[in-house]
Structure 1
């Protein structure tokens, strides 16, 4: 009876941890969307070149709208950091050394700290607001890569924590290579999307025709000329992922793999439609945020599909806090 009770307590602790991990993921996606709103509204310099203070103050007095937008982003980012720190220590509290959930939580903290450093660098080097430099474009692309890795680590932390069993990797090199291409492709699409969104913000067009002419003009700024890469990459990788997810949904018998594959197919269809509408409507801010939200959800779902397709669930080992280092 004592062993059964101990197992039940361990499962209850794991379920609570999983719920918290999912909540942390949701909070971070919200913070990411607000960060995109900061960029889209040109509010990145709302706190000046000061960090972590805002215009040299802890709490800005008589702030402008841009300052409120940027300060809100910093405050929510700080909250998100604290939540990830709590996730890290909680994972160490209930999972023994070597467990994959604990490793994913550690990766979440590492990428979260990197996220904060990249954001600070953008502010301190004044790569915000109306800056049109190559350094800003590269920094935003790097920011996107780290953001995707952060979301992947947090999603895997929650996913692996909620399953009643330990994971064992399936060493299917062909499936792993196919999924790796899709994941790398999604990262490239995201990077091109970040640069395209920056170009749309800094060089808005009055009509679809004017925007297309800007894209092919040799005299246009490099941020404008790079915009065409995003739809080309999005369509190419989108078609690839349609085949991959469709094949997994058809051939694999595991319920989780089929469910996630169907979710990827649905999100792909919605995202492609949102991208077309975004192009036609000349990228309004609200639609940019919807487009980014769909991209984040698609990325997280694809990561979970890859993890589910490449792992097998075995028996859950007992969780016992006394065995922690």
Structure 2
């Protein structure tokens, strides 16, 4: 195996580990464990390794520990990419961007703790922060895919000058983002108001959260059909590459609808939420790979 092969394997490992960190964050919210470490950050209950007295502290501490491990992994990625590619290479620039996005992700998570936007809090601040959090998460995953793409294809491909497919790819990416944002707000509403014993406050933010619970499934289904249409239009182009990724996107969309229906029918247990989120991350990764390969073209071969 070459150094480049090892590097790509390392980035794949970081990508998979990032998904694990994202899932642990979803478990934090769905179990209302955001205040499990109190209001201290980055320490937990005022110490680096807290006494685990309840399940909420354990869940929040595990999430923070995984985030710390991911951060160390990124330090290794920064050093390795610089040594292997140099500071002018697209891989190094992509790693710098990805590291910045990870830093934003950590700061948004810290803000949720500092401002008390956790547990039973229903405020505009929490809705906005959660929405920014999930968009930033999507960008983080996309940046890792970008690193993998340039590490594999920088010598063979370049951004295409022909944008006929670009508008459909951008539309699909935008639709996934909208669905993900409404899904995040829907998940927050489920956490706060799922129980029949909870009285929904007569406040604009509470009414918004309850409304999104009804709207998200409709947005997701309509969005899925629009994504299928967009990807199909790209696949109709005779110059399309890696069409198998497109069929993978179709398959995951179908599974997402099934799991989404089950999630609602079973009153959103943590298990189905994890499956739902994992499929969403897989869909996003496939879509970004598909977009990069079809928004770029092969460089002319020199003889």
CA contact (8 A) 1:115 1:146 kept: yes
Residue of 297, 307, 315 corresponding to 2:292: 307
Residue of 4, 18, 27 corresponding to 1:28: 18
CA contact (8 A) 1:141 1:191 kept: yes
CA contact (8 A) 1:18 1:159 kept: no
Residue aligning to 1:150: 140
Q: Deviations over 1:123-180 (max 9, x none)?
A: 1111111111121111100000000000000112123313483421112223212211
Residue aligning to 2:217: 231
Does 2:109 align with 1:119? yes
Q: Which runs of 5+ in 2 are unaligned?
A: none
Equivalent residue runs for 1:40-119 within 5 Å = 40-119=30-109
Q: Deviations over 1:170-206 (max 9, x none)?
A: 1222321221121111111111110000000111146
CA–CA distance in structure 2, aligned partners of residues 37 and 137 of structure 1: 17
**TM-score computed with the length of structure 1 as normaliser:** 0.85
Does 2:283 align with 1:298? yes
Choose 1 or 2 for highest CA Rg. Answer: 1
Residue aligning to 1:276: 261
SS of equivalent residue, structure 2 residue 169: helix
Q: Please state how far the C-alpha of 1:246 moved relative to its aligned partner.
A: 2.4
Q: Deviations over 1:267-289 (max 9, x none)?
A: 11111111111122221111111
SS of equivalent residue, structure 2 residue 165: helix
CA contact (8 A) 2:186 2:209 kept: yes
SS of equivalent residue, structure 1 residue 94: helix
CA–CA distance in structure 2, aligned partners of residues 219 and 87 of structure 1: 41
- Relative to 1, partners in 2 of residues 1:295 and 1:263: Cα closer, same or farther, differing over 3 Å? same
CA–CA distance in structure 2, aligned partners of residues 79 and 252 of structure 1: 44
Aligned residues: 298
CA contact (8 A) 2:241 2:294 kept: no
**TM-score computed with the length of structure 2 as normaliser:** 0.91
Q: Which has the higher contact order (CA 8 A, sep 6+)?
A: 1
Q: Which runs of 5+ in 1 are unaligned?
A: 1-10, 317-325
CA–CA distance in structure 1, aligned partners of residues 205 and 112 of structure 2: 27
CA–CA distance in structure 2, aligned partners of residues 243 and 202 of structure 1: 35
Does 2:248 align with 1:263? yes
CA–CA distance in structure 1, aligned partners of residues 247 and 28 of structure 2: 33
- Relative to 1, partners in 2 of residues 1:61 and 1:315: Cα closer, same or farther, differing over 3 Å? farther
CA–CA distance in structure 1, aligned partners of residues 94 and 238 of structure 2: 26
CA contact (8 A) 1:15 1:161 kept: no
Moved runs in structure 1, 4+ residues, more than 6 A? none
CA–CA distance in structure 1, aligned partners of residues 188 and 109 of structure 2: 16
CA–CA distance in structure 2, aligned partners of residues 254 and 172 of structure 1: 12
